[in-house]
Structure 1
Amino acid sequence: MKPTGTAMTRVGRPSKAAQDAASEKIMAVAMELFADRGFAGTSMEQVASRCGMGKDTLYRRFPSKVALFEAVVEHAHRRAVDRLADMRSAAEEPLPRLKALMQAMLHMNMDADLIALKRITFSETVVFEKREPFPRQPDPIMDRLIDAVRAAQAAGSIRAGDPAALANHLIHCLVALPTSIAMLGGDAYDDASAVQAHFDITWLWLMEGVSAQASNL
């Protein structure tokens, strides 16, 4: 006999949109907790509670807190890749385009959430069994920088050499100081204007050198 009266609602799997929304919420909540409380101070129970879901549901997606943290790092890195992909420089020449890209990469690296994730990654190497979750290779951000260096070389704007080695040297010179200070809790680069001032002088030194006789070499 077929049921009569109120129709029975069939409960199925959540739609892809609902699953994506849940994943975004988990990433946002976990990022906030990790950044605020650190790795040790954040629990799977806290994340599940903030997301309004059961702990078992969270564990079905992420079998451990390490797996969740690595997913948060990957998510943050994908967002950074998307931000750079959306960047459109008004500059036509390769060197100004390289400058705009490096400026964007510096400000991106100084993002407070990314600094917090880097701090956790470097301070919890034993927990992560010396894995390198930030970022995984190959890195599309570095690939884009290498391409920009290669284009500037082809235009004769910067000297010849291995573009990958040059790109790594340029970005290291640019980000090592401010990110290290921020990761250690210093506030010298908390203001965007201080970050920009660091970029301006470092770019000048990188492009023109620091020797008083550089123009004669």
Structure 2
Amino acid sequence: MIERKPMRPKTRVGRPRKHETEEAGARILETATRLFASQGFAGTSVEQVAAACGAGKDTIYRRFPSKVALFEGVVEHARARAMDKLAELGAPEGDALTQLKRLLRSFLSINMEPDFVALKRIAFSEAVVFGKRSPLPSQPDPIMDKLVKAVAAAQADGFLRPGDSKLLAAHLIHSLVSIPTTDAMLGGGAYAASDALDVHFETVWTWLVDGVASR
């Protein structure tokens, strides 16, 4: 009787499968996000990211040719996650003004998440590294596009005054987001609690919609 040797599993050669490549890319970005957020831009190296996520340094450099490019990739990844969260809101409910309010409140919550606050802090503090430009965010910005469309819909239905929808959207988001996010970026905790953020939002929203001039 001829004894057969056990078959050895075949070693796969060639390029990795698409899903494996995507998983590796996501792992790199998630690890880089955590390290940038906790250590800052200057305190994080590509070598640290490689060691923490189990990827080779050359693998990271093939995807992101520099640390700045890696940080920009992290920002884009964070923005994609924000879009996913907005998609989870489901189908719009209520009139155009109600939909706009709901969208703005979601924007505020997303901007107050610790990772987003940390990335903004890094982008502003490291402006010199980025050649006097902030990688937060690059254009076109699908998040702002969504807001502009909501503003335009509220204008079309007569809830808001006619005018430049993009300019109005920019002022709305700045008015609602700048104070709490600046406080968080500077290490404050005035808006850390959800109820404090709700009070801020409702107050500023009322000022924006009803005006502050005496009648």
Aligned partners of 2:108 and 2:177 also within 8 Å: yes
AA in 1 matched with 2:191: Y
Change in 2 beyond 3 A, CA 1:207/1:89: farther
Q: Distance in 2 between matches of 1:11 and 1:190?
A: 50
* Equivalent-residue separation in structure 1 for 2:92 and 2:86 (angstroms): 14
For 1:124, give the aligned amino acid.
E
- CA distance in structure 2 between the partners assigned to 1:90 and 1:203 by the alignment: 19
The corresponding residue for 2:15 is 13
Query: Which residues in structure 2 correspond to 1:10-159 (within 5 Å)?
Result: 10-88=12-90, 91-159=93-161
Equivalence for 1:203: 205
CA offsets, 1:12-48, max 9 Å, x none?
2211111111111111110000000000111111110
Offset of residue 88 of structure 1: 2.4
Q: Distance in 2 between matches of 1:166 and 1:9?
A: 58
Deviation at 1:199, TM superposition (A): 0.6
Question: Which runs of no fewer than 5 residues in structure 2 stay unpaired?
Answer: none
| CA-CA distance at 1:83 after TM superposition | 1.9
Paired amino acid for 1:32: R
Comparing 157-166 with 13-22, greater Cα deviation is found at 157-166
Q: How far 1:57 moved relative to its partner?
A: 2.2
Contact 2:96 2:154 in 1 (8 A): yes
Could you say if the C-alpha distance between residues 90 and 70 of structure 1 is closer, same or farther in structure 2, counting changes exceeding 3 Å? closer
Change (3 A) 1:58 1:90: closer
Count residues with an aligned counterpart.
210
Deviation at 1:105, TM superposition (A): 0.7
Question: Quick one: percent identity of the two aligned structures?
Answer: 56
Given that residues 89 and 97 in structure 1 are in contact (C-alpha distance below 8 angstroms), is that contact kept between their aligned partners in structure 2?
Answer: no
The letter of the residue matching 1:73 is: V
Shift in Å, 1:151: 1.1
TM-score of the two chains, using structure 2 as the length reference: 0.92
Post-superposition offset of 1:81 = 1.8
Distance 1:96 1:10 in 2: 54
Q: In structure 1, what residue type is equivalent to 2:30?
A: A
> Mean Cα displacement is larger for which, 195-204 or 87-96?
87-96
Contact 1:89/1:100 (8 A) holds in 2: no
3-state SS in 2 of match to 1:135: coil
CA distance in 1, matches of 2:168, 2:138: 20
Deviation at 1:11?
2.1
Q: Identify which range, 80-89 or 155-164, moves more after superposition.
A: 80-89
How much does 1:192 deviate?
1.9
Deviation of 1:172 after TM superposition, in Å, equals 0.9
SS at 1:66 equivalent? helix
Instruction: Give the TM-score normalised by the residue count of structure 1.
Output: 0.91
Paired residue type of 2:84: D
Confirm or deny: 8 A CA contact 1:115 1:179 kept in the other structure.
yes
What is the rounded CA distance, in whole Å, between the counterparts of 2:52 and 2:66 in structure 1? 17
1:25-78 Cα offsets, whole Å, 9 max, x none, are: 111110000000000111111110111122222222222111111100011111
Inter-partner Cα distance in structure 2 for 1:89 and 1:210:
32
Q: Once the two structures are superposed, what CA deviation does each residue of 1:99-149 show, in whole Å capped at 9, x if it has no partner? A: 101111111111110110011001101111123311111211111111111
